[in-house]
């Protein structure tokens, strides 16, 4: 199948590219290149499932529904300008020859070892006198015994070597199908460019929220308190009772302004997070939830303030979503730090609700993804209909204190 599909796609795509000079290839080439990508993606999937070899997709995004001739031409040009297209094209040749041979070796070794036992079990009579099994000339029953011994050795070699040969097949495919270092660097630069803009937009929105809260809340109360103090100053000599009433009102305004300022500060950076770190702050969040939350936290120490803040508000948003929308009876919160991949803060929130959560719907999850993206973090959601829902977050981070 490897040599048949790869070589057939190579020939058809080559013919389609030649027919572009006549205009026909503009319509057939994108369709054939789509088949090539499907074939390559299937090999990526098999590499992961059979040999544990990860092969990332390197393709640039394409318009989903091209409209008219101009749309097809644009899609065709975009595919031809993508370096991954030509790497796939070259892979088809390599896969049809070297890949086919590497894929052929494992079953060939197994069948050749089994053949030795078949000769021993009686097949030697049918081929006696004119057949060689390896270095054994099959003539008598004793030759069948020797072929069984050789077949056992070959089967042992096959069982030991086949996983490595199969992995070699997929490693060969990865050398062509995986993104190049330059493509990965360009993708990372693009991601950093997007997250930088997201960070700027988020900061601007946060500043506007703070300004609005100050203007509508604490600032209004402080202005009213100043006016009350001016009135008190004018009334204190000839209307002490009214002045006393205004003093009480000013005291109440000052207390409410102080409360609002504390709430505002808590929304920017909660005191428990600043004083006790992410672990204790997450436990405090769990205790305030209306749904029982089981907490499993194991952290080696404190992290930088931006990382702790991003993780805290991401946890808060996910727990709130679980309490409001999931109709869950119980939630599990796990926070751990591992030193693999250079140090990673891993957070998972699982609930036993009805499931069906979608990362693309609503602004809450999108906000979490943008917040984590500023630190090169990732968000993954698994929420099949009927539940359970698991939200996993990973942030590259190193502890500050042991």
**C-beta of residue 76 within 8 angstroms of C-beta of residue 29:** yes
User: What does the block give as tokens for 341?
Assistant: 């991949």
CA–CA separation, 1 and 95 (whole Å):
11
**C-beta of residue 352 within 8 angstroms of C-beta of residue 388:** yes
φ, ψ of residue 54 in degrees (nearest 5)? -85, 125
Report the candidate in 378, 293, 297 with the shortest Cα–Cα distance to residue 335.
297
φ, ψ of residue 62 in degrees (nearest 5)? -125, 155
CA–CA separation, 94 and 7 (whole Å):
9
User: 251-300 pLDDT, tens per residue?
Assistant: 776 776 666 666 555 555 566 777 788 888 888 888 888 788 889 988 88
CA–CA separation, 20 and 18 (whole Å):
5
CA–CA separation, 177 and 84 (whole Å):
7
User: 350-395 pLDDT, tens per residue?
Assistant: 888 887 776 666 556 777 777 777 777 888 888 888 878 888 888 8
> What's the pTM value of the predicted model, to 2 decimals?
0.54
CA–CA separation, 198 and 163 (whole Å):
45
Query: Mean pLDDT, to the nearest integer, of 133-138?
Result: 85
């Amino acid at each position: 199948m490897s040599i048949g599909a790869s070589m057939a796609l190579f020939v058809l795509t080559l013919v389609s590219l030649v027919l572009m000079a006549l205009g026909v290839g503009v319509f057939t080439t994108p369709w054939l290149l789509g088949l090539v990508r499907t074939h390559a993606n299937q090999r990526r999937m098999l590499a992961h499932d059979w040999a544990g070899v990860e092969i990332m997709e390197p393709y640039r995004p394409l318009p989903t529904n091209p409209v008219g001739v101009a749309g097809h031409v644009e899609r065709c040009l975009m595919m031809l300008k993508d370096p991954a297209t030509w790497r796939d094209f070259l892979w088809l040749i390599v896969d049809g020859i070297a890949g086919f041979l590497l894929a052929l070796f494992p079953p060939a070794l197994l069948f050749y070892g089994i053949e030795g036992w078949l000769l021993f079990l009686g097949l030697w009579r049918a081929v006696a006198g004119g057949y060689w099994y390896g270095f054994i000339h099959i003539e008598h029953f004793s030759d069948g015994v020797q072929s069984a011994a050789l077949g056992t050795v070959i089967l042992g070699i096959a069982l030991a070597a086949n996983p490595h040969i199969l992995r070699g097949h997929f490693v060969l495919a990865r050398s062509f199908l995986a993104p190049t270092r330059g493509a990965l660097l360009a993708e990372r630069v693009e991601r950093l460019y997007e997250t930088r803009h997201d960070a700027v937009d988020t900061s601007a929105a946060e500043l506007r929220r703070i300004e609005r809260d100050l203007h509508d809340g604490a600032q209004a109360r402080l202005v009213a308190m100043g006016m009350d103090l001016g009135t008190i100053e004018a009334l204190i000599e000839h209307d002490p009772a009214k002045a006393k009433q205004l003093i009480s009102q000013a005291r109440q305004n000052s207390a409410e302004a102080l409360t609002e300022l504390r709430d505002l500060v808590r929304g920017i950076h909660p005191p428990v997070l600043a004083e006790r770190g992410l672990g204790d702050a997450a436990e405090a969040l769990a205790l305030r939830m209306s749904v029982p939350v089981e907490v499993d936290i194991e952290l080696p120490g404190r992290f930088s303030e931006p990382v702790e803040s991003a993780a805290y508000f991401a946890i808060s948003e996910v727990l709130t979503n679980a309490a409001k929308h999931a109709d869950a009876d119980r939630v599990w919160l796990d926070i751990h730090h591992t030193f693999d991949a250079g140090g990673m803060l891993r957070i998972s929130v699982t609930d036993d609700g009805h499931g069906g959560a979608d990362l693309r719907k609503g602004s809450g999850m999108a906000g979490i993804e943008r917040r984590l993206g500023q630190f090169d973090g990732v968000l993954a959601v698994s929420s099949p209909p009927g539940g359970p829902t698991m939200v996993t977050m990973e942030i590259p981070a190193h502890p500050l204190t042991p």
